[in-house]
Every structure is written in C-alpha cells, then in structure tokens.
Amino acid sequence: MSYDELRHFADSWGLVFMSLVFLTFIGWTFRPGANRDHKEAANMIFDDSHEEDGKND
C-alpha cells in the first residue's frame, strides 16, 4: 500500500469511522439513565463512606 492509497483511505473511511466513534460517545453521554450516573460522579468527592486507605469511620 503506497502513501497515496493510505492517505485516500484515511481521508474517506477514516473520517467516516472517526465520525461514528464521535457520535457514539455523544449518544452514550445522553442515553436514558445516564443522569443518575452523572449525578453520582459529580457527588463522589463528597462521599465519606469510602476512604482511600480502606477504613470506614
């Protein structure tokens, strides 16, 4: 495969593949039920029940 063939492939099918991956990631963020996961992740730093050293006070 020459450089020109590789570049043509990347310009066409590579762009299609990367666009599909991007749209998949965007869709995954707004999927049903994701709001609960986002709220849990946002409040995780305030949760004192899980200490790094393994102790639960």
Q: pLDDT tens, 33-57? A: 899 989 998 999 998 876 665 555 5
Angstrom distance (rounded) from CA 19 to CA 32: 22
Tell me the whole-structure pTM to 2 decimals: 0.57
Q: Where are the domains of the chain?
A: 3-46
Q: Across the chain, what does the average pLDDT equal? A: 86
Angstrom distance (rounded) from CA 36 to CA 27: 16
Cα distances (angstroms) measured from residue 44 to each of 5, 25, 28, 41, 53: 49, 22, 20, 5, 16
Evaluate the CA torsion angle 46, 41, 37, 50 in order and state its sign: negative
CA angle 28, 31, 34 (to 5 degrees): 95
